[in-house]
Amino acid sequence: MIFNFYIGKSLGKSSSKKMLTFGIVGNVALLGYFKYADFFIENFNWVLNKDVPLLHLALPLAISYFTFQQIAFLVDNYRGEVKEFSFLNYSLFITFFPQLLMGPIVHHKEMMPQFALKWRSFLRWENISLGLFIFAIGLAKKTLIGDPLTDYAQYAFDNAQMLTTIEAWYASISYVLSYYFDLSGYADMALGIAKMFNIDIPKNFNSPYKARNFADYWRRWHITLSRFLGDYIYKSLGGNKNIIWIVYLNIMITFFVSGFWHGAGWTFIVWGLLNGIFVVMAHMMKKANIQMNFYLAWSLMFLGLIITRILFVASDFSDAWYVTYTLFDLSNIKFHNLVFIDPIIQGFYIVVALYLALACKNSMEIAQNFKPNKKYLFYTVILLSASLFTFISTKEFLYFQF
């Protein structure tokens, strides 16, 4: 943190590309050592038939988000967008706990003006009540919907080679939905806690499963991550140049970085590239003015989400291929007692989650109508109480591993 502060301060005085490169390389090297060392050693051993021992390093919590936020700070300094250089305020910006672990990824220029306002240190009951309401929604999304879906999906993918066709569909859809309710639940909780401190942080989700194609999906999913990749990777490569194949290449490189950022494994890299291909296809269809029926477009988009999520969560390509193949294996349509404890209950969770994700307002839209009255107090108490009853069996957030 001290390293980045003084590099950033130096960049604020003189925009040196060498200094910026030094700062970025330092951050990426630290992330690479902890997160990717074993990945590179494994591939080195495989290519050269060596037996270099793995390091088995413990991954520092939130290092991926922390690194992106630090890099954004350095680049913003280089661009002359940072006007304030107090180490105390910078430390608060980096370590502001609501969004520290899993985002949203915030910019220095978004937070510093808010930290500087004196009234932020006073209790504002309307913000406390609104923040608690948003927090309650996020906690309920995580504990009441996300965790039950995750429980089944993880168990199913641990037995991936034994899944039947119906089980593969159940497990894959469960994971698609569980990641949304888990990660967006955390984002809501972070936003709610920040609001209690009179701080506004950017929303991270905007009903992504209502999208009709992957380009729209990535504008709605993990918005601040997409913003970072767009501002600091895609635009740095040239962004929307007139040469269309360069635009598509820049998109593919950006999603390659996204895949590698998410995890040290080839399945994550292929996941990123496949998302890039789907986004490029969406742009190509728009450029060619190809219009699809809404339901067909959404169905193809959701099928793409299922296939990419399988790659994201599978332990290796063998499991990913087996589950994907099994989705369409009409000769294997049967239930298996090993995986399905109660398919009716699991089906209920899937239907409820789909309804909430597709037919209902998202948490930010609900919060726009918030009033500090008895009705919303009742909603808050009900959501918190129901969530607390599940705390004994609550799982860690899925994105903690990143």
Residue with tokens 């994201």: 312
DSSP characters over 15-65: --HHHHHHHHHHHHHHHHHHHHHHHHHHHHHHHHT--PPP--PPPPTTHHH
Q: Measured between alpha carbons, how far is 82 from 88 in angstroms, rounded to an integer?
A: 15
Give the DSSP H/E element, type plus range, for residue 147: helix 147-158
Q: Is the peptide bond before 343 cis (omega within 30 degrees of 0)?
A: no
Query: Angle between the 343-359 and 165-196 helix axes, to the nearest 10 degrees?
Result: 50
CA distances for 283 relative to 58, 135, 213, 237, 278, angstroms: 40, 36, 9, 18, 9
Q: Measured between alpha carbons, how far is 202 from 182 in angstroms, rounded to an integer?
A: 18
Closest CA to 153 of 316, 317, 306: 306
Secondary structure (3-state) at 67? helix
- Total residue count of the chain as it appears in this document: 402
Task: For residue 153, count other CB atoms closer than 10 A to its CB.
Answer: 24
Closest CA to 8 of 79, 110, 103, 100: 79
Catalytic residue, chosen from 107, 108, 222, 262, is: 262
Q: Measured between alpha carbons, how far is 56 from 75 in angstroms, rounded to an integer?
A: 32
Contact of 78 with 11, CB cutoff 8 Å: yes
Q: Is 365 buried (19+), middle (13-18) or exposed (0-12) by CB count in 10 A?
A: exposed
Any catalytic annotation for residue 262? yes
Q: Measured between alpha carbons, how far is 214 from 235 in angstroms, rounded to an integer?
A: 19
Q: Measured between alpha carbons, how far is 28 from 18 in angstroms, rounded to an integer?
A: 15
Q: Measured between alpha carbons, how far is 106 from 191 in angstroms, rounded to an integer?
A: 12
Contacts of 386 (CB under 8 A, 6+ apart): 140, 143, 144
Catalogue the active-site residues: 262
